[in-house]
C-alpha cells in the first residue's frame, strides 16, 4: 500500500442526523455553555473571596481552568462537524486537537494527584501542613501540573506522531485521536509503542500509587481519629474522590474502546463512551465541589443574600 502524508483526516463516526441536526446542535451548544458558565463562576468565586485563598482552592481553581481548556479543545470542533455534511479536518487542526485533548487529560490527572497529596498533608499532618504547603510549593506544583503534560504532548505530536507515513486518513471517532492515527501508519511505530508503555508504567502508575497511598493513610486517620476529624475528611475528600473515580472510569472506557474491537456496540454508545471523559468531568466537577464543599456553599449563600465577601 502506498504511504503518504494526508492533508486532511475524515472523522467517520459521524452519521446523518437529518431533521434532528438543529436539536443536536442545541444540545451540544447548551452543554458547552453550561460548562463554561459553571467553571468560570467557580474560578471567579475562588479568586475574589479571600477566605478561599488556601492551597486546596488554588488547586481547584487550576482544575476548573483545565476544564475550560479541555472543553474548548473539543466543543467548537464538535459543533462545526455536526453542522457540516463533510466531516473532514485538516492535518494541522487534527494534531492541534490531539495536543489539546491529551494535555487536558494529563493536567487533569496530575491535578487530582496533587490534590490527593494536599488532602493527605491537611488530614494526616495538620501541624506541619502550613510549613510544607507554602506559597512556593503551591507555585511549583501548579507549574508542574501544567508544564509537564504540555511539554510531553508537544513532543509526542511533533516528534512521534506527525512524522509518521500514513496509509489512510479515516479516523472512526468524532474527534482526532493520537492512537487512531498511529494505527494508520505504514512506517515503524516501535518508538510510539515503547514510549506509550514506559509512560504508562512510570508516570501513570506512579500517580496511581501516590493517590492510593494518600487515601489509605486518610482512611486510617478517619478510623482512628475523632468525630471532628472524620467529618472534615469526609467533607473535603468525598467530592475529590468522586471526581477521581469519574475521570478514571471515563479514561478506562476510552482505553478499552481504542484497544479492543467494539464494532458490535451501537454507534451512539461508542460515541458516548469516547466523549465521556471529555464532557462529564467538566460538567460534574463544578457540581461536586460547588455543592459539597462547605466554604464554597457559604460564599454562594452570601452572594445570593447580598452580603460582603
> What is the mean pLDDT of the segment spanning 39-49?
88
Q: Give the three-state DSSP class for 226.
A: coil
Please report whether residue 1 resides in a domain.
Answer: no
Provide the grid cell at 117. Answer: 497529596
Kindly report the CATH number assigned to the domain that includes residue 25: 1.20.1070.10
- pLDDT higher than 80, residue 149: yes
Confidence of residue 154 (pLDDT cuts 50, 70, 90): confident
Confidence of residue 307 (pLDDT cuts 50, 70, 90): low
Q: What is the chain's mean pLDDT, rounded?
A: 86
- At 1 the pLDDT is 46
- Residue 155, domain member (yes or no): yes
- pLDDT for 107: 94
Give the model's pLDDT for residue 8: 92
Nearest to 68 by CA among 32, 109, 18: 32
Sign of the torsion angle spanned by Cα atoms 246, 248, 254, 260: negative
Q: How many residues does the chain have?
A: 309
Edge-to-edge order in the sheet of strand 88-90? 88-90, 8-11, 170-171
Q: How many domains does the chain have?
A: 1
Read off the C-alpha cell for 147: 508544564
Cell, residue 58? 488554588
CA atoms of 42 and 283, how far apart (whole Å): 12
- Whether residue 227 is predicted with pLDDT greater than 80 in this model: the reply is no
List, for residues 114-145, the tens digit of each pLDDT value: 999 998 898 888 888 988 899 999 999 999 99
- Where does the pLDDT of residue 40 fall: very low under 50, low under 70, confident under 90, or very high at 90 and above? very high
Using pLDDT thresholds of 50, 70 and 90, give the confidence band for residue 75: very high
pLDDT, residue 228, reads 72
Confidence band for 229, pLDDT divided at 50, 70 and 90 = low
If phi over 0 gives left and psi between -120 and 50 gives alpha, with beta otherwise, what is residue 210? alpha
In a domain, 191, yes or no: yes
Domain enclosing residue 93, as ranges: 8-305
Cβ atoms of 107 and 65 within 8 Å: the answer is no
**pLDDT classification of 294: cutoffs 50, 70, 90:** low
What are the DSSP E strand ranges found in 141-253?
170-171
Q: Which own/partner contact pairs does 96-101 have at CB distance under 8 Å and 24+ positions apart?
A: 97/73, 97/175, 97/176, 98/153, 98/157, 98/161, 98/176, 98/177, 98/178, 98/181, 99/153, 99/154, 99/157, 100/69, 100/70, 100/72, 100/73, 100/74, 101/70, 101/73, 101/74, 101/175, 101/176, 101/278
Is 153 within a domain? yes
**Any domain includes 2:** no
Report whether pLDDT(54) > 50. yes
Identify the CA nearest to 54 among candidates 138, 146, 140.
Answer: 138
Q: In what helix (H) or strand (E) does residue 10 lie, and over which residues does it extend?
A: strand 8-11
Q: Write the pLDDT tens digit of every residue in 196-217.
A: 888 877 787 888 888 888 888 8
Is the model's pLDDT at 304 over the cut of 80?
no
Exposed e or buried b per residue across 254-286, where buried means at least 16 C-beta atoms within 10 angstroms of its C-beta: beebeeeeeeeeeeeebbebbbbbbbebbbbbb
Q: What is the pLDDT of residues 250-289, one digit of tens each?
A: 888 888 877 777 777 788 888 888 899 999 999 999 888 8
Amino acid at each position: 500500500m502506498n504511504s503518504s502524508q494526508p492533508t486532511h483526516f475524515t472523522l467517520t463516526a459521524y452519521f446523518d442526523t437529518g431533521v434532528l441536526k438543529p436539536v443536536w446542535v442545541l444540545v451540544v451548544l447548551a452543554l458547552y455553555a453550561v460548562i463554561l458558565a459553571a467553571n468560570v463562576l467557580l474560578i471567579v468565586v475562588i479568586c475574589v473571596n479571600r477566605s478561599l485563598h488556601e492551597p486546596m482552592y488554588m488547586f481547584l481553581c487550576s482544575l476548573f481552568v483545565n476544564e475550560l481548556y479541555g472543553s474548548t479543545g473539543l466543543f467548537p470542533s464538535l459543533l462545526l462537524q455536526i453542522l457540516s455534511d463533510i466531516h473532514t479536518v485538516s492535518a494541522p487542526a487534527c494534531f492541534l486537537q490531539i495536543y489539546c485533548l491529551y494535555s487536558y487529560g494529563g493536567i487533569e490527572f496530575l491535578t487530582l494527584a496533587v490534590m490527593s497529596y494536599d488532602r493527605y498533608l491537611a488530614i494526616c499532618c495538620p501541624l506541619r501542613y502550613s510549613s510544607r504547603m507554602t506559597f512556593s510549593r503551591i507555585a511549583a506544583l501548579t507549574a508542574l501540573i501544567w508544564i509537564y503534560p504540555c511539554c510531553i504532548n508537544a513532543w509526542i505530536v511533533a516528534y512521534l506522531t506527525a512524522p509518521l507515513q500514513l496509509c489512510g486518513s479515516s479516523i472512526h471517532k468524532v474527534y482526532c485521536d493520537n492512537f487512531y492515527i498511529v494505527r494508520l501508519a505504514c512506517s515503524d511505530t516501535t518508538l510510539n509503542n515503547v514510549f506509550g508503555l514506559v509512560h504508562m508504567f512510570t508516570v501513570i502508575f506512579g500517580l496511581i500509587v501516590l493517590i492510593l497511598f494518600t487515601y489509605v493513610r486518610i482512611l486510617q486517620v478517619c478510623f482512628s481519629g475523632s468525630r471532628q476529624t472524620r467529618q472534615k475528611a469526609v467533607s473535603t475528600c468525598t467530592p475529590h474522590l468522586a471526581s477521581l473515580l469519574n475521570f478514571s472510569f471515563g479514561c478506562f472506557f476510552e482505553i478499552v474502546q481504542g484497544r479492543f474491537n467494539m464494532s458490535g456496540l451501537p454507534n451512539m454508545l461508542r460515541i458516548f463512551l469516547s466523549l465521556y471523559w471529555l464532557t462529564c468531568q467538566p460538567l460534574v466537577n463544578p457540581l461536586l465541589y460547588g455543592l459539597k464543599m462547605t466554604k464554597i456553599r457559604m460564599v454562594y449563600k452570601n452572594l445570593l443574600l447580598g452580603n460582603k465577601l
